[in-house]
Structure 1
Amino acid sequence: MDTRTVITAYFEAFNAGDAAAMLELLAEDVEHHVNQGGIRRGKAAFAEFCAHMERCYSENLTDLVIFAEGDRAAAEFTVNGTYKADDEGLPPAHGQTYRLPAGSFFALKDGRIARVTTYYNLEDWIAQVS
């Protein structure tokens, strides 16, 4: 698959809530650069992240625009979500909804996603759910 096809499949799997399909697109040694955080390394850490997200949030991405060249890609989108369960260090959850602009950057290696970096404005999100 070419880069655009891989990234499109990744976002389709995200919107379908299909973490297994997302994981299939990742390199074993994937690096997940966390917004305002550290780096999760490996598919197992990414799977744990997906399980955590599924527990705490329900999200759907719209307004998706993908840019791809060679083994690099970027995407801009809107996150439409519901905060379902308390997440450590964040405000209490009680079904609040939010709408947040975000972007992701990707690097591919041998046709698989080797790096995912996603950015959004955490302060904006906190204001929306507080």
Structure 2
Amino acid sequence: MADVVKRYFEAFNAKDTDAMLNCLSDDVAHHVNEGNVRRGKAAFAEFCAHMSRCYDETLTDIVIFDAPDQGRAAAEYVVHGRYLATDEGLPEAGGQQYQLPAGSFFDVADGLITRVTTRYNLSDWIRQVS
């Protein structure tokens, strides 16, 4: 289980959306921080395209925890980013850099991620880019 999560994060850091999609089930549920649940690979790909336009992010200090007997995994990491383009409803972008701890939670079945839930402190991010 940890293998597919590790590949997912490697693909994220390589900015390889196709490789990320290869880690997901067709009906993946993507629970976005402070947002709605997006379902399916197409919705996930749209989200990634939006994020790539607005943000340049790299994850470091990734620690993966897994509970294979329960089909779950989690990861804690540090997001290092640059705010490239203004995201609707958020402060204006001007290349601001930010760094914040975050975590993701996963359900895994048949070697594929079926749920991704990401959490970070949005008010801390807003403070850093304002």
- The bucket for the TM-score relative to the shorter chain is over 0.9
Q: Indicate the residue corresponding to 1:9 in structure 2.
A: 7
What is the alpha-carbon distance in structure 2 between the residues aligned to residue 76 and residue 106 of structure 1?
12
Pair 1:58-2:56 in alignment: yes
Gapped regions of structure 1 (runs ≥ 5): none
| Aligned positions, number | 128
* Deviations, residues 87-125 of structure 1 (Å, cap 9, x unaligned): 000000000000010000000121110000000000000
Query: d(CA) in 2 for partners of 1:22 and 1:42?
Result: 13
Amino acid at match of 1:78: V
SS of 1:93 mapped into structure 2: coil
Q: Does 1:127 align with 2:98?
A: no
Match of 2:27 in 1: 29
1:101 and 2:94 are equivalent in the alignment: no
1:63-93 superposed Cα distances (whole Å, 9 cap, x missing partner): 1100011121000000000000010000000
Partner of 2:78: 78
Identity of aligned residues (%): 66
CA distance in 1, matches of 2:26, 2:51: 20
Per-residue deviation, 1:34: 1.0
TM-score by length of 2: 0.97
AA partner of residue 35 (structure 1): N
By how many angstroms is 1:38 displaced?
1.2
